[in-house]
Chain A
Amino acid sequence: MTTTNPSADIVDALSAPGQDSLSASRLTFTREGKLVIDGVDVSLPVGSFGAVIGPNGAGKSTLLQLLVGTLPADSGAVLFDGDDLLAMKRRDRARLVALSEQHGDGDTGLLVTDVVLLGRTPHIPRWASEGPADRRVVADALTAVGMTEFSNRPFDTLSGGERQRVQLARALAQEPRLLLLDEPTNHLDVRAQLSLLSLVRAQTAAGLTALAALHDLNIAAAYADSVIVLKAGAVVAAGPAASVLTGDLISDVYGVRADVLEHPRTGRPLIAFDTT
């Protein structure tokens, strides 16, 4: 596959050094004596949207946690623009990398604007109050996800899709350069899924690098510039969705048969599962 578009670069450990915004190598993590992440490499060019896919228990969430530093990797390195993320102080890292998780059952009693303001935590000095600049960032983040009118609504009264958009705004308020999303479209209806991923793509078009753990292969195929496929904690394939997502790979990783078609409008891969 030859292309001049940098955002569609083949994403694997072999891509040219210096172009990558995120580059993790040989990450391993053991939980209760079991190797959960087994020598995983990740590299993503600046401004690209990567997807981590794989069956339940393949280590998708764990990989994101290692990258954001909420779990300590046993070995390996994570470089971001040449800086060693794992050696950074937690607060400094939180200004570079944000993680947006699923929070379906939150009963926090916080207003939407309070939730987004949490994203300013690593920027506001510990004993100080937020300033006008912080409030401006919060307002901008809410505008970016189209939730401005919801600012003063209790977070718990929102629908799943609205909550997920607020969580995205919270992550954006961290002003990160790398955004990690852990199954951002789980439990959302189709419209909310597409809306959320369009928002993420708008951010990557503006220069943010994003990596999302996704369950839905068609969603990954439709939005991601590159795909990393995990199976039992190891990378089995990585690269542009069109070259990675094949019937053989899906059969190997998920144990189901599928035909990979071409989307009639976008030309991206479209996966039709064999349900006979």
Chain B
Amino acid sequence: MTATMTTRPAEAASARRERRRVPTVVLVLVLSGILLLSIVLSVTLGPADIRPAEVWGSLLGHLGFDPTLLGGDVLSPLRDGIIWELRMPRILTAAAVGAGLALSGTVMQAITRNPLADPYLLGLSSGASLGAVAVILLSVGVLLPVAAFAGAIVALLATLLLAGAAGALTPTRTVLAGLAVSSFLGALTSLVIFWSATGDTYREILSWLLGSLSGARWPAVAIALGALLLVGIPLMLTGRTLDAFAFGDNAASALGVGVNSTRWLLLSATALLTGAMVSVSGSIGFVGLILPHAVRLVAGQRNRVVLPLSALAGAIFLIWIDTGARTLFDPRELPVGILTAVVGAPVFALLLLKARRIR
């Protein structure tokens, strides 16, 4: 027995492959700091020049404090309106949507053990698109976010029923059912657009399909932030359960995790969260697919670490991307979904090149 335990010479060299980890708490605190800073800084950016002191003053004023506290400025109603009615809700919506999508993507990838999974895996974006397009083109008499959310939920139910019809909700069945529902609803959406869109509505539809935060006001903040707090925070705490799936359904089950019930619960929660986000912003791509991977390349694969970090990174990422979308080509505005990919893909490519370990 002792003979089989001796260390081979090669192992001394491979000890260098050991990893030192930055404590999670430090990473969370640093990212939280960056998030707060990003919110304040991005409010100052835009066609109207606004100083941080004015942001601070506006914030204090609306929270019922003396605006001049700690060097805050008193603002004219016009400038206060720009901060409080236009930029602030838009930035907070961007933060909540970014966090929600990154969180959903992380859970989807873990629960299906598929690195290509994203929040729209269950056909949510095509369902939401159909709902939105129906409102824009067919004058269905409901608010656009309501129709988009309803569309997403219909798609979710269709996918889950299709995938779960044979009993176990396995990753492969889930992905394939999502694909079927996605293609079908996508085709319906295209049909509606092809049949009834006219010049003016094309741009509106395209901007929605690519994702845009230009219309985000306080009601959007309420929806996105509310969903993040109610569904996102509990999801963030499921890391240990997700980690138990690292070696497959069987291993998770032998560790005492109810595989099927967990998958139903997490897929539904993720879909609710994504549906709420899509209803206020359209289907912004890339964030939910790539950010979880970027975080894993830096912080390792443990889901209970990746979940909170993805949420923070997603919030920061979307704030800056949306700031770019509204300021880069001012006065024209880009759909934010174009920029997420244009900026995010090269950053991800760099990370991929640095991480040689990924096969």
Q: Which residues of A contact B (CB under 8 A)?
A: 65, 68-70, 90-95, 97-99, 101, 103, 106-111, 114-115, 118-119, 121-122, 124, 126-127, 146, 149, 152-154, 156-157, 174, 191, 194-195, 198, 202
Contact = CB atoms under 8 A, between A and B. Distances in A.
Nearest to A121: B255
Interface residues on B, range: 20 to 34
A121 B256 contact: yes
30 contacts: A68-B254, A70-B250, A90-B253, A91-B256, A94-B255, A99-B251, A101-B247, A103-B247, A103-B248, A103-B251, A108-B247, A109-B296, A109-B300, A109-B301, A110-B246, A110-B300, A110-B302, A114-B243, A114-B302, A118-B244, A121-B241, A121-B256, A126-B240, A126-B241, A152-B20, A153-B14, A157-B17, A195-B4, A198-B4, A202-B1
Contacts of A154: 17, 19, 357
B359 interface: yes
B255 A152 contact: no
A114 B241 CA distance: 13
B198 interface: no
A109 B247 CA distance: 11
B222 interface: no
A191 B19 contact: no
Nearest to B246: A108
Given A118-B244, A124-B240, A153-B18, A110 B301 contact: yes
Contacts of B11: 149
Nearest to B241: A126
A98 B18 contact: no
A127 B237 contact: yes
B7 interface: yes
Contact of A152 (B18, B248, B359): B18
A266 to B, nearest CB: 15
Interface in B292-331: 296, 300-302
Contacts of B7: 149
Interface in B129-181: none
A127 B234 CA distance: 10
B113 to A, nearest CB: 10
B5 interface: yes
B243 A118 contact: yes
Contact of A198 (B1, B237, B258): B1
B256 A122 contact: yes
Nearest to A92: B256
B103 to A, nearest CB: 17
A103 B1 CA distance: 24
B78 interface: no
A174 B255 contact: yes
Nearest to B7: A149
Nearest to A191: B4
Given A69-B253, A118-B251, A152-B20, 8 more contacts: A90-B258, A94-B254, A108-B247, A126-B241, A153-B17, A156-B357, A195-B1, A195-B4
Nearest to B253: A70
A114 B306 CA distance: 14
Interface of B: 1, 4-5, 7, 11, 14-15, 17-20, 237, 240-241, 243-244, 246-248, 250-251, 253-258, 296, 300-302, 357, 359
Nearest to A94: B256
A126 B237 CA distance: 9
Given A101-B247, A154-B357, A90 B256 contact: yes
B3 to A, nearest CB: 9
Contacts of A126: 240-241
A90 B340 CA distance: 43
A118 B246 contact: yes
Contact of A121 (B18, B20, B257, B300): B257
B289 to A, nearest CB: 17
A127 B236 CA distance: 10
B254 A98 contact: yes
A209 B18 CA distance: 34
Contacts of A114: 243, 301-302
Given A65-B250, A118-B243, A93 B4 contact: no
A269 B17 CA distance: 43
Nearest to B15: A149
A148 B296 CA distance: 25
Given A68-B254, A122-B256, A126-B240, A111 B19 contact: yes
Contact of B246 (A90, A115, A191): A115
Nearest to B6: A146
B255 A118 contact: yes
A268 B269 CA distance: 57
A68 B357 CA distance: 35
A202 B31 CA distance: 47
B18 A107 contact: no
A107 B258 CA distance: 23
Q: Which are the 10 A-B pairs with shortest beta-carbon distances? A: A94-B256, A109-B301, A122-B256, A91-B256, A195-B4, A99-B254, A70-B253, A121-B255, A152-B18, A108-B246
Contacts of B20: 152
Contacts of B301: 108-110, 114
A149 B214 CA distance: 54
B294 to A, nearest CB: 14
